[in-house]
Chains A and B, each alone.
Chain A
Amino acid sequence: MAATDTLPATTGDETVVRLGGAQGGWFRQVGWRHLVGLLALAFSLFPILFVVSAAVNPLGTLSSSELVPTGASFENFRKLFVDTAFPTWFLNSMVIGLLAAALSMFVSACAAFAFSRYRFRGRRAGLLGILLVQMFPQFLLIVALYIMFAYVSDLWPAVGFNTRTGLLLLYLGGALGTNTWLMKGFFDTIPKDLDESAKVDGATHAQVFFGLILPLVTPILAVTGLLGFISAVNEFLIASVFLTDDDAKTAAVGLYGLVSEERNNNFGVFAAGALVLAVPTVALFQFLQRYIVGGLTAGAVKG
């Protein structure tokens, strides 16, 4: 007992009291923030954990999938790549996603440049018109598009049903509506004196756009490109109506087909597919993260 008398600081009781006291203050300062943060993390991550667990679950059924992995097997991934057309679906999704993102970014950057830098007849009407058309989203037009493309498929099979090009062209139809306002808001924040002085130096409008403005608006290009990629990869309704041949499907449509019939048995394979499909988006997201917050809110503040 003598030891405890001489070294009171090390006794169990004292330590608990001290730490407890400190913890109380720490908790009121920042600890509760960590608690909320951890709760938010748990909510965000538990479905993803479940997907990971189901993907490596050797039994591969929904009923045997637990929240925490119970085994580690790559059987589901093997089945995904060998027994289903997933490699083709994945490739379709990537080609459509990347091209749709890049092209729609480009056409809306062009339009935003015109709306931000030039004053012309019909400018205000054009901006409001774009806003109005955006409220009539493409999938609301699914019946009309279906009938249109039935006709297109007869005349030009290369861009008809079950082709990547046809779906890509269709997605580009929505490009102006979604991105132009966001981009114009960002373009407006770049001082006009810059292009004026470049023009005085003899630069053409194309040189101003490609050489001067585009490099300055990289953040908003990154954001619209990322959002365009995410929405094209995730688009389900139009793709499911347009792509019925197994080889033409995107990953979203193909994966839906996996669990729409044999829900319980295919769940592991489906989860593996969801994980593989998430990889490019998550990678892009991490890569572009520093632009995202700034890009999104800059457009929002400017309206």
Chain B
Amino acid sequence: MRRKLGLGADGTASPLGLIIKIVVLGLVAAIAVWAAFPLIGTGNWLGLAVLLLVTAVIFSIYLSPRAIPAKYLIPGTLFLIVFQVLPVLFTLSTAFTNFGDAHRGSKDEAVAAVEGSSVQQVPGSTVYTLTIATDGEPGSGDIVFLLTDPATKAAFVGTADGLEPLNDATQNTDGKITEAGGYEILDIAEVSARSADIVEFSVPTDRGAIKNQGLSRAFEGTPQQAYDAGCDCVKDRTTGQTWTANDDDGLFVDGQGQALAQGWQVNVGFRNFAEVLTNPVIRASFLKILLWNLGFAFGVVLITFALGLLVALVLNKPGLRGQRLYRSLIILPYAMPAVAMMLVWRDMFNTDFGLINRLFGLDVNWFGSAPSSMFAILLVQLWLGYNYMFLVSTGALQAIPADLTEAAQVDGARPFHAFRTITFPLLLVALAPLLISSFAFNFNNFTAIYLVSEGAPFPPDNPQAGATDILITYTYRLAFGGAGAQYGFAAAISVFIFLIVATISIVSFRRTHALEEIN
């Protein structure tokens, strides 16, 4: 039989089906064209090739009569690959680098940054009148310098790519630019919000670079430090000091072992992983965090399941008056916005203004000591989670045939005995997968910690690792915290987290035989 290819090839018989198919495939084509332009514009041919390939695969699958499962799997799989599998691979590769604040880009970019930040004014160089602006949103766009040459009143725009003449600028009597098409001029507050970016910013020129001096002057200067390819080092023009490139660490280091602030990204092999296991400070905090992390996840599953099951058992008496009302009110917390409720709980535990201290006449600094902080966190999770366990326990209890428990009672079994030997094992079989996923979820329950205690209390000697930190909040602090981003190291810890959760989950799935009957 010849393989047919075409709109109706897979048996799309009805006109409605055909129309939907044409519209959807048309949309796919339109999105592909839209996405292609920036790729062509930036010369990203690899990206364009991937885009074309994906589009071709989509068209061939939906136009061919074969591969019916693929038609149903493609949409979810595409999202899964782009937003989950690719980032996983990216995380894995980042874990083997020193990527972070001090090691962002390539060696060339590090050299440019070193030279740019060492620019000093040389006598006689031009001093421009400066207006600081952005290309795009004031909070996030790229910084640009709008410059006026005071002698000629000529206007320029200086970007990270260089200096260009500016034609449509409006200038005041001093020559300062007050408006320029396409650029957002920053006010004082916006400038101070971006001050870190402005300090780093310089406009490269033929003779060196233009840097700002205060908020309304900019000068052209030459870098004091320059890279010399011959010795693979950075030299200071005036002092003659040299910093030699160390390609293992991605840093320029001087004779005393002092490094320049700007480094570059290099492959460090297993060093990040080894650091976790061998650096005494990190190892100690990692182990402590891991223990509490396991205790927290097990603890939450245990207490929420215990309380949820207890309440479900008690209320699961046929004909109990108000049963429906109880049920719908008890699960109300599950429907409340969890983020907001965690913040409410955090504020209820507030030492000075909190409801709990005021209600009970206490003066406890709940997040000041490890045990009370842990207690508070577990209580919040009990409140947020027990109603879900109550819900699923109720469902599972109703699914257990009544004659089983009745038969046990006829045989003279005491109610508790019957529960322990018959009901509970059946419940556990039914709910094991949910309990395991609850464990996996809580193991990485970022908001439960971050919004309630933020990891507090912190030991004075290690402000990065708090007593109630779990691995994911610790990772987040390493990656985005105030002490400088360490993406490579954070990625290595993510890999550890994954290995731990995956091992525990797979072992417990095996033990509950949940995976054996995939059919």
Contact = CB atoms under 8 A, between A and B. Distances in A.
Nearest to A176: B76
Contacts of B80: 130, 133, 173, 175-177
Contact of A251 (B82, B337, B387, B476): B337
A141 B340 contact: no
A118 B353 CA distance: 60
Given A107-B79, A300-B392, A128 B335 contact: no
A267 to B, nearest CB: 6
A107 B78 CA distance: 10
Interface string A283-303: 011100100111011001101
Contacts of A134: 440
B355 A50 contact: yes
Interface string B41-85: 010100000000000000000000000111111011101101111
A44 B383 contact: yes
Given A277-B340, A293-B391, A110 B490 contact: no
B376 interface: no
Given A206-B17, A300-B433, A285 B335 contact: yes
Interface string A133-158: 11111111111110110000001100
Nearest to B74: A110
A161 B140 contact: yes
Contacts of A289: 328
Interface residues of B, number: 111
* B interface SS class: helix
B332 A44 contact: yes
Contact of A47 (B307, B344, B472): B344
Interface string B336-347: 111111011101
19 contacts: A36-B311, A40-B326, A47-B333, A50-B348, A114-B68, A120-B69, A126-B73, A127-B518, A130-B80, A140-B494, A172-B83, A174-B83, A207-B14, A207-B17, A230-B335, A237-B447, A264-B353, A274-B340, A303-B433
B11 interface: yes
A191 to B, nearest CB: 14
A285 B352 CA distance: 36
A230 to B, nearest CB: 7
B164 to A, nearest CB: 20
Contacts of B398: 293
B195 to A, nearest CB: 17
Contacts of B317: 30, 33
Interface of A: 30, 32-34, 36-37, 40-41, 43-45, 47-48, 50-51, 61-63, 65-67, 106-108, 110-111, 113-114, 118, 120, 123-124, 126-128, 130-145, 147-148, 155-156, 161-162, 169-170, 172-177, 180, 188, 204-207, 209, 230, 233-234, 236-237, 241, 244-245, 251-252, 255-256, 259, 263-264, 267, 270-271, 273-274, 277-278, 281-282, 284-286, 289, 292-294, 296-297, 300-301, 303
Contacts of A162: 137, 140
Given A50-B344, A62-B353, A144 B392 contact: no
Contacts, number: 295
B94 interface: yes
A303 B218 CA distance: 67
Nearest to B345: A47
B364 interface: no
Given A107-B76, A120-B69, A128-B515, A148 B337 contact: no
B491 interface: yes
B430 interface: yes
A239 to B, nearest CB: 9
A245 B314 contact: no
B79 A176 contact: yes
B320 A33 contact: yes
A274 B336 contact: yes
A37 B311 contact: yes
A127 B387 CA distance: 29
B392 A296 contact: yes
Given A273-B340, A297-B396, A111 B330 contact: no
B311 A144 contact: no
A204 B12 contact: yes
B430 A301 contact: yes
B502 A135 contact: yes
A301 B399 contact: yes
Given A50-B355, A143-B479, A37 B314 contact: yes
Contacts of B101: none
B481 to A, nearest CB: 12
Nearest to A300: B434
B94 A113 contact: no
Contacts of A140: 91, 444, 472, 475, 494, 497-498
A302 to B, nearest CB: 9
A44 B354 contact: no
A236 B76 contact: no
A220 to B, nearest CB: 13
B139 interface: yes
